Amino acid sequence: MAPLALVFDAYGTLYDVHAVVARCEEFWPGRGAELSLLWRTKQLEYTWQRSLMRRYAPFSQVTLEALQYACAGLGLPLEGYQSAALLQEYRRLAVFPEVAGALARFATRKAILSNGSPDMLDPLVKQSGLAFDAVLSVDALKLFKPAPEVYQLAVDRLGVVKEAIGFVSSNCWDALGAKAFGFRVWWINRLQAPVDALGLQPDAVVGSLDEILL
């Protein structure tokens, strides 16, 4: 069946985190790429570890703590104004070029389902000018992706059965978590990576939102 609703991941899928990387390079010349990579890796690891430990913390806190770890691990000094500026970048990320046009073409209901806590996610969506029927944060559940409860949140809030929900993410593990749950899944493979080896396949692998055909 054609989806009645499309649910989108936010960071990396609709919103480009490049500005955060650029700001890292500005603060720590020559080390920005390395720092960004370790920061992102730890940010995600902490979401999974905290979920398994049942020690949820909001994504804004996890993001800050991952930055602090990454700077310590690489021997880079981190001042309060720098961490504040980097977190602020997350609240004003650019939208990928094709996103606004693609969203306008989808006649379905549209929602965001994100790890981002409302203190990060709501300002971001607002300043971007994109319009959604719902902006859903895992913060309501105190549990991060890819736990099935997170994808169930979209079912509950949209009032649409899971078989009628299309899910779109640039994070392969997120796409596969949604697939395991029962959504129809598009993986936006922006970085030409292999499919994660988790025993599942996305329903479609595309290069951008423009390639999503309903």
Shortest Å, Cβ 100 to a copy of itself: 31
- Residue 84 amino acid letter: A
User: Which value, to the nearest 10 degrees, does the dihedral of the CA atoms of residues 119, 124, 130, 133 take?
Assistant: -20
- Binding of residue 140 to a copy of itself (CB under 8 A): no
Q: What distance in Å separates the CA atoms of residue 202 and residue 179, rounded to the nearest whole number?
A: 7
Task: Write the Ramachandran bin of 142: left for phi over 0, alpha for psi from -120 to 50, otherwise beta.
Answer: left
In the residue annotation, 203 being an active-site residue is answered as no
Least gap, CB of 210 to a copy of itself (angstroms): 25
Q: How far is the CB of 178 from a copy of itself (least distance, A)?
A: 10
Interface map 25-64 toward a copy of itself (x if CB under 8 A): ----------------xx-xxx-xxxxxxxx-x-------
Q: What angle do CA 59, 64, 67 make, to 5 degrees?
A: 125
Among residues 78 and 212, whose Cβ is nearest to a copy of itself? 78
Minimum distance from CB of 108 to a copy of itself (Å)? 25
**In angstroms, what CA-CA distances link 25 with 33, 40, 206?**
7, 15, 30
Closest listed residue to residue 116, CA positions, set 103, 126, 101: 126
**Is 86 an interacting residue with respect to a copy of itself (CB under 8 A)?**
no
Q: How far apart are CA 114 and CA 19, in angstroms?
A: 19
Binding status of residue 148 toward a copy of itself by CB under 8 A: yes
The catalytic residues are 9
State the residues that interact with a copy of itself by CB under 8 A.
41-42, 44-46, 48-55, 57, 65-66, 68-69, 72-73, 144-148, 173, 176-177, 180, 193-194, 196-200
